[in-house]
A and B are shown apart, each in its own frame.
Chain A
Amino acid sequence: MFLFSTRRTKLLLLLPALVFFCVYVLYPIGYSLILAFEFKPTYRPGHFIGIDNFVEMASDDRFWTSLKNTAVIAIVELLLVPALAFLLSLLINQSFRGNGIVKVLAFTPYILAGIVTTLIWIFIVDPNLGLINGALNAMHVDTTNFLLIGGRDLTPVTVGVIESWKSIGFYAVLFLAGLKMIPSELFDAAAVDGATALQRVRFITLPMLKETNKIVIVLVFLNAVQSLQTVFILTGGGPNYESHSIGSYIYDVFITQRRVGYASSITLFMFVVMMVLSIAFLMRTSRRVEE
């Protein structure tokens, strides 16, 4: 390799990637930081207004509603995904005929566009056409106030469930990779000592999967905070801005209200919250390991 290691060839090979990085990553970050402190309608020039956008955020009810909804989405996903994905990975890890098929089927929703999988779900959750309300009606349960989408309260929960369904196969495969890393001697030794299957899961598998679990939790959290497409398709944020997530609210401010400056401020806020919470979580959990 040393024959070619001139500074010029190195630079030449890296240059295209570097150009793309600067134009599409560095420049947007810098520009967005400026926009966050500007009054900037999409199609007109903006001007600096200091922290006025953030002041407006503090008194923007729609923003706080979307923040609350996003918290609900994240909590639902954090409750469902790690636990269910772990159980699913235990199932796939069993050697039986067809475990490959289960894995591939569970993974399927993850490779499809979020727009399309959400459209599929309309027939399950729609209050008029959906399977769930239809089945409840057939059992003579009154569902007039049970609106999985379009009501006041339940939409974020529905969004969380749909996004969990979409990604569970992926996280199960992540857990599976972690499971394969555990040396089987540990289980053999435990079996010799008379540990039951449940004890082995509790005292060997779970502690050994701690690192994978941390990664899964952070990834689930980051994706939940940025959820956009599911809300966009299910309700479009309606009725009256009550079901927006942060992501879909930013999209609405940017596209429908055409206020790029304000949208950038909310994005900046979201980004900081995401980073602070993830890093705090990772630091807390790593300290606990050391103790």
Chain B
Amino acid sequence: MMATRRRPFFTANRTAIFIGSLLVCFFMFLPFVWAFVLSFKGNDELYASPLSLPNNWDFSLYVDTFRKSSMLTLFKNSLIVATLTSIGCLLINFPASFAIARLHHRNARMGDFFYYLFLVGSAVPLFITLYPIYTIAQVLQPYGLGIDSIFGLIPPYVAGSLPFNTLVLVGAMRSIPLELEEAAILDGCSLRQLMVRITLPLMAPVVVTLTILNFLGAWNEWTLASILLNSSDNYTIPLAASFFKQQYGMDAGAVMRAVIIVLIPQLIFYAIFQKRIVQGMATTGLKG
């Protein structure tokens, strides 16, 4: 981000830095590594000697766990929900933020009103909305957006994105200069062209980051999904994961294998987009 790296205000010696980094990595990754190591153990081995390394590192246990589960359905469900949610978030939030940041600039008070109105949503705990959202889903049942439908998750998720997305989009739009857009208007650009052809490309980095964060938010959401979904064919990944313990009974090794299978795609996703994810969450100080 910054062109010149700021000189750190004190320089610890290299050993201290090395030990510090090692400690951080150790504590942050110990649970993952430990779970990964133990996931290669069968159940008898696990209970007989919980602390020893597995006798053999073969992947057949993983293949077995994968076969017994319905991982592909889960991934499909989560992918559909997260993709449609992030598209929906963009479709709803971008025009609204455009109206707040751009069209209201002569009457800023009105724009600010909507801006703060949407932000208030972030103070509301999810618990307050659980049952009312359930009743809304009952009303939407005939339209395929009701209870026990993965598509029924999308509208509440999109609504949940309002505060965070408005905050980020309006902030970013207000920080880019008006000149380019004014020139486009003088050239006879229509409103839709202006939004789609001029403002959207200008905002591309922010929009991409937001879309990734919205995607992650929908992918990880558990509470609402646990209330709206009933049949296991419709479970999203976190919801299915919350039943792993019951599903595999006492076979703790199988639970870990299922968890690791679920984690790998997300960790790859994170590895690809880590810069945007970390920066996006940090610069706004909030989560989706």
Contacts and interface: CB of A to CB of B under 8 A. Distances in A.
B24 interface: yes
B39 to A, nearest CB: 9
A116 interface: yes
Contacts of B92: 16-17, 20
B241 A271 contact: no
B103 A226 contact: no
Given A111-B266, A124-B30, 7 more contacts: A13-B99, A27-B132, A32-B128, A108-B28, A112-B263, A177-B285, A184-B7
Interface in B5-38: 5-12, 14, 17, 20-21, 24-25, 27-32, 34-35, 38
Contacts of B158: 20
A105 B29 contact: yes
Interface in A38-89: 42, 88
A122 B255 contact: yes
A105 B25 contact: yes
Helix, strand, loop or mixed for chain B's interface?
Answer: helix
Interface string A29-42: 10110010000001
18 contacts: A1-B181, A13-B95, A17-B95, A21-B117, A23-B136, A27-B132, A31-B135, A32-B131, A32-B132, A106-B28, A108-B28, A111-B270, A115-B222, A119-B245, A176-B282, A226-B126, A229-B222, A271-B128
A96 to B, nearest CB: 5
A4 B155 CA distance: 29
Interface of A: 1-5, 9-10, 13-14, 16-18, 20-21, 23-25, 27-29, 31-32, 35, 42, 88, 91, 93-96, 98-99, 102-117, 119-124, 126, 128-131, 134-135, 138, 165, 169-170, 173-174, 176-177, 180, 182, 184, 187, 197, 200-201, 204-205, 215, 219, 226, 228-229, 232-233, 247, 250-251, 254-255, 260, 263-264, 267-268, 270-271, 274-275
Contacts of B181: 1
Contacts of B10: 187, 197, 200-201
B183 interface: no
Contacts of B141: none
B24 A91 contact: yes
A31 B127 CA distance: 12
A267 B282 contact: no
A254 B8 CA distance: 51
A233 B238 CA distance: 11
B105 to A, nearest CB: 6
B99 A20 contact: no
A252 to B, nearest CB: 12
A138 B181 CA distance: 70
Helix, strand, loop or mixed for chain A's interface?
Answer: helix
A94 B17 contact: yes
Most buried by B among A10, A102, A105, A274: A10
A177 B282 contact: yes
B191 A267 contact: no
B130 A254 contact: yes
A223 B266 CA distance: 23
B223 interface: yes
B96 interface: yes
Contacts of A28: 124, 128-129, 132-133
Nearest to B262: A116
Contacts of B38: 123
Nearest to A2: B106
Contact of B285 (A124, A174, A200): A174
Interface stretch (B45-53, B54-62, B69-77, B202-210): B45-53
A13 B238 CA distance: 34
Nearest to B166: A17
A15 B159 CA distance: 13
Given A16-B96, A104-B274, A176-B282, A32 B129 contact: yes
Nearest to B120: A25
Nearest to B135: A31
B256 interface: yes
A232 to B, nearest CB: 7
A170 B284 CA distance: 11
A112 B217 CA distance: 9
Contacts of A111: 216, 220, 266, 270, 277
Contacts of B259: 116, 119-120
B219 A95 contact: no
B121 to A, nearest CB: 5
A10 to B, nearest CB: 5
A94 B132 contact: no
